Structure 1
Amino acid sequence: MALKNIQSQKVHYSADGKLEMNLEEFKEWLKKFDVDKDGKISKEELQEVVRSTGGRFCRIKGWRGMKFADTNESGFIDENELNNLVEFAQKYLHVRIVY
């Protein structure tokens, strides 16, 4: 289901196969995974993000992404921690944020 979200959106892929989007498109894309619409990304929602990019080991990468991005250790990634999630996505999820 999450993969359908990527495919229904106009996306661009770079020559090396990475999903390319600007920061605003990345934020809008993440909102599709915010199942409870609380404006934050939970570990489970992050696992779906990983799954949607074709990533393997979704649980492990979801846990790693949460540790990487959730600097206040609230168990959620909020707007203030989004830059950390951008960095994680670029390193581990084959996503490129273009500015």
Structure 2
Amino acid sequence: MTIDEFKRRLKWFDEDRDGKIRKDELADAVRVSSGWFARKKSKCGIRSVDANGNGFVDDNETKNLADFAGKKHLNERILHL
């Protein structure tokens, strides 16, 4: 999947439509994609990709999340075109 496809897919989990992904929203995404250890993976994901430390993954940090997902943490293969 491309980075744009990844962003569109991620928006499905943005429950409050604020353009940011919270830890529990990321846990839902992890649960759908890989199932196992969703809470732990989402906590690790937020911690590793949240560049400004606000506890959310916003649009500027989505590339970081795509890199995290591409490293077999979320069973996704992201193509950076």
Q: What TM-score range do you get, normalising by the shorter chain?
A: over 0.9
Does residue 49 in structure 1 map to residue 21 in structure 2? no
- TM-superposed CA distance for 1:82, in Å, is 1.0
Q: Give TM-score scaled by structure 1 length.
A: 0.76
8 Å CA contact 2:13–2:29 kept in 1: the answer is: yes
Does residue 95 in structure 1 map to residue 76 in structure 2? yes
- TM-superposed CA distance for 1:23, in Å, is 1.0
Q: Hey, what's the Cα distance between the residues in 1 that align with 2:54 and 2:21?
A: 11
Q: Which has the higher contact order (CA 8 A, sep 6+)?
A: 2
Q: Hey, what's the Cα distance between the residues in 1 that align with 2:53 and 2:30?
A: 20
Structure in which a larger fraction of residues adopt helix:
2
- TM-superposed CA distance for 1:94, in Å, is 1.0
Structure 2: tracts of 5 or more residues without a match:
none
Larger-gyration structure (1/2)? 1
Structure in which a larger fraction of residues adopt strand:
1
After superposing on structure 2, the runs of 4+ consecutive aligned residues of structure 1 that deviate more than 2 Å are: none
* Secondary structure, aligned partner of 1:77: coil
Query: Root-mean-square deviation (CA), in Å?
Result: 0.9
8 Å CA contact 1:55–1:93 kept in 2: the answer is: no
* Number of equivalent positions: 79
Structure 1: tracts of 5 or more residues without a match:
1-20
